[in-house]
Amino acid sequence: MKDLLLPAKELITKAKSARTDVADVATLRMIPIPESGISFFVNRSLYMWMPLDGSDDDGISSVKPGILSTDVPGRYRRLTVAFPFMKV
């Protein structure tokens, strides 16, 4: 699975507003579904809630909440900076 690429400015904004109260991926799976675009720091990685994302849950770059079945969209996606000249 691939991380979600964001321009540096947008990634910094998401990092500054990220929740820091989620200890690990298992805890991230158990929290209530947040609003679209809310970001979380989990084990030094930045994740963002994407309500329409239906990617496979690999537990690293795409994490499905425990209350959703596999065929329902909505995933936490790990964010990474898009380097210059990358298409985003």
d(CA 43, CA 51): 22
pTM of the predicted protein model: 0.89
**How close are the terminal C-alpha atoms of the chain, in Å?**
16
Q: What pLDDT, in 10s, does the model give residues 48-75? A: 999 999 999 999 999 999 999 888 999 9
pLDDT of 87 higher than 90: no
Please indicate whether residue 88 or residue 43 has the higher confidence score (pLDDT): 43
d(CA 54, CA 19): 23
Residue corresponding to tokens 């084990």: 43
Q: Residue 10 — very low, low, confident or very high, per pLDDT cuts 50/70/90? A: very high
